Amino acid sequence: MRPSRVKSKLKRGEPVLITCCHFIDPSLYELVSLLGFDGIWLDLEHHSTSDETASNLMRAARVGASDVIARPAKGEFMRMGRLLEAGSQGIMYPRCESAEEAAELVRWAKFAPQGERGANGDNPYCAIPMVPYLKAANEHTLLIAQLESPNALDQATAIAAVPGVDC
């Protein structure tokens, strides 16, 4: 389990530099990660990137220090779990409209007791004992709720107050 570079910097009140890569060449993710960006935004809503391709892009990014923040489409909670299992350090959830939807995001992205995410393949080769792994995964999984409508902006305070939502 690699600690989230983005989440660590946010906790210290430091600025975070994230870039979006719309190409599917793993060498680009490797290069961007080696250049020192804190994170790479992998958008799976507006592009036809498959989960398999996303997994390979995340693996390439692990050569450097960048977190990969995957952005599935709204409501793709099952896909979100697969992206986290494949190595995404964070989820950027689009068009979050309410505190209830933000709580659903946390429920799907965090292991018990914070959520209900299932464990399978998240801890490669069981390299870390399960209880410490689940605790570390909850601590280091970054959750971003994007507010993209006037209604969502009206709910911003309530969404931000949901335990487990980082941004």
Domains: count for the chain:
1
Measured in residues, the chain has a length of 167
Q: Give residue 125's pLDDT.
A: 67
Domain region containing 50: 5-160
If you search the block for the tokens 């996303």, which residue do you land on?
54
| pLDDT at residue 112 tops 80 | yes
Q: 164: which residues sit within 8 A by CB, 6+ positions away?
A: 105, 106, 109, 110, 114, 115, 143
Q: Give residue 131's pLDDT.
A: 87
Q: What is the CATH number of the domain that holds 82?
A: 3.20.20.60
Query: Is there a domain that residue 90 lies in?
Result: yes
d(CA 154, CA 165): 17
For residue 106, what are its two tokens?
Answer: 């946390």
Query: Is there a domain that residue 166 lies in?
Result: no
Q: Is the dihedral of CA 91, 142, 26, 17 positive or negative?
A: positive
Position 53 confidence tier, pLDDT thresholds 50, 70, 90: very high
| pLDDT at residue 124 tops 70 | no
